[in-house]
Structure formats: structure tokens, C-alpha cells
Amino acid sequence: MKKVIILGGSGAGLIAASIVERNNEMQLLGFLNNDFNEGDYIRSYSKKIPVLGKMNEVDKFIEEDDVFAFVAFEGIRDPYKSYEYLKSFKIPRNKLINIIDKMSVVPEGYCELGKGILVAPFSQMSPGAHVSDHCLLLGNSFLGHDSYLEEFVKLTTNSVVGADVRIGLGTTVGTNSVIRERVSIGKFCLIGSGSVVVKDVPDNTVVVGNPAHFHSLRGHLSYLEGPGSKNEKG
């Protein structure tokens, strides 16, 4: 049995926890969370899950052969800093666990899956889909055939990604949005809820509407400017 610790808390963390506890091949040990102290609990109605320590203590927990980590924070407010923080843990890929609900559809042998991904109930992938490390596919989301998600992409509830789509690092696809086939979405973009994307979206862009149009730039460009920029850390 694989033992699981979750870095995070409410939101995606509790979704991940509920999936783990329904899986007979996994055992949930608890959360690592910076806003609580060791011995506290993160609660959801009658369920309470222990906090084991802070997130930067993950190394000592995954030393055991049967203990694996899942990073549950989503990075919607500041995807740049969240992604840099995630990478700072330097968790070995073989110690990241995929949390895939049995009520999702992931065609075995037909898709390529990274490490540390979440596939929530009723979400679905088509054959030929590629999902990179640390991606989240929330409930009832759909990923079309031959589409490619780079690292740290989030498909939120009821979002639909058509065939042969590429979505860049750190992008969030909003609730009830649709991305048409053969569209390319850049890095660190935000697709607004209910949007219909019919053309390519450049890096660091927020789009909204039907059809989706430019709304704003998403935060700063320091991460996209690469190492050595003045504001590299944000």
C-alpha cells in the first residue's frame, strides 16, 4: 500500500484526500501546510485530517520507501511564485504520486501521464492525450485526443479542451470554458470562466468571453523573461 502526504489543504487538497481515502491501494497520512501547526487538523464537516508539519519538511516524510507526496496548491493568484515554490521542494519524480479517481476515464496505454497529477471524478481523457507533471483535471473536465498539457496546468470543472490543443506551463482553464481544436495556449495564461477560445493565446494573457478576447496581462513577465531578469523572483 502506498502512503500519501498532501502538500496543501482545502480546495484541491481535500479533493485529493477524498480520492485517496476511496482507493484501497492508498493510505492517507495527512497534510503538510504552512498555515497550521503540527497536530492541528484540516476539517471538512465530519472529516478531519491531521497536519503533520510544514511543506518545507517534505524531505523527511518521503524518506520511507512506501511514502509518496502530492502537491495540491493550485497557483491561480500568482502562478509564477507558486510554480517556483513547487520546484523548490526538489521532490524526486519517483516520489510523486498520481491521484486518479476510479470514476474518471483515462484510457490505459493510450495516454501519457506525468507525475503528481490529479484526475478528479468524471473527468475524461481521449487517446493520445499527454498530461505533464503537476497538472490538475477537476471534475467533469475533458481533454481531447492528441492534446498536450505542459506542467502545472489546471483544467477546472466542466472545462472542455478539444483535439490537438497545446496548453502552456502554469495556465488555468476556467470553469465551463471551451478551447477549440488545434488552438495553442501560451504559458501562465488564464482562460476566464465560460469563455470559448477559437484562436491562439499568447503567453501571460487573460482572455474572456465568447469568442474569447484579450482582457489583460496576467501579473508580471519576470518568469517568462528567464534567468537573470531584474525581477526574476517576482
Q: What is the model's pLDDT at position 78?
A: 85
Closest to 16 (Cα-Cα) out of 90, 68, 79, 54: 68
Q: What is the model's pLDDT at position 77?
A: 77
Q: Give pairs for 216-224: CB < 8 Å, separation 24+.
A: 218/79, 218/188, 218/189, 218/190, 219/78, 219/79, 219/80, 219/188, 220/80, 222/80, 223/80, 223/83, 223/84, 223/188, 224/187, 224/188
Render pLDDT for 179-197 as a digit per residue (tens, 0 to 9).
999 999 999 999 999 999 9
User: Residue 172 has which C-alpha cell?
Assistant: 488555468
Rounded mean pLDDT of the chain?
92
| Beta-bridge partner residues of 212 | none
Both 88 and 174 in a single domain?
A: no
pLDDT surpasses 90 at 74 = no
Percentage of residues in the chain with pLDDT exceeding 90?
87
Identify the domain boundary among 60, 94, 128.
Answer: 94
User: For cell 520546484, what's the residue?
Assistant: 87
pLDDT band at 220 (very low <50, low <70, confident <90, very high): low
Question: Which residues constitute the domain of residue 148?
Answer: 104-234
CATH code where residue 190 lies: 2.160.10.10
pTM of the entire structure? Answer: 0.90
Per the rule left: phi > 0, alpha: psi between -120 and 50, beta: everything else, 182 is: left
- CB-based burial label for 70 (10 Å; 0-12, 13-18, 19+): buried
Both 26 and 80 in a single domain?
A: yes
pLDDT surpasses 80 at 68 = yes
Choice between 227 and 204, residue whose per-residue pLDDT is larger: 204
pLDDT surpasses 90 at 170 = yes
Q: What is the model's pLDDT at position 196?
A: 98
Identify the domain boundary among 68, 94, 120.
Answer: 94
Closest to 50 (Cα-Cα) out of 68, 66, 38, 35: 38
Both 148 and 204 in a single domain?
A: yes
Give mean pLDDT, residues 108-133: 97
